[in-house]
Amino acid sequence: MTSPHEIDPRALDDPRNVYPTDEEFYRSGRPADAALPEDRPRGGEPSTPLKRRGTWATVALVAGIVLLILVGIALFP
């Protein structure tokens, strides 16, 4: 089968066997203005600096988890 899309040579004259080229196929589902604006522009720094959680908040979170585990072990020995 030497024809594109591997069509049976006996069916080459059939009008239903008309296929678009790859460019036509992929262009058909795209809008005319296919360029999308960037949702995260490259370069530069953010307008406001990132605010991170403080050290004490992290220590309190870890201590709370450890305390929860210890209470669970104490209540269900």
Taking only the tens place, the pLDDT of each residue in 34-62 is 777 766 667 666 677 777 778 898 999 99
DSSP states of 30-54 as a string?
A: S-SS-PPPPSS--SS--SS---PPP
At 1 the pLDDT is: 47
Average pLDDT over residues 9-31: 79
Residue type for 42, please?
R
Give dist(CA 27, CA 13) in Å, integer: 26
Rounded to two decimals, what is the model's pTM? 0.35
Confidence of residue 70 (pLDDT cuts 50, 70, 90): very high
Both structure tokens of 53: 């959680």
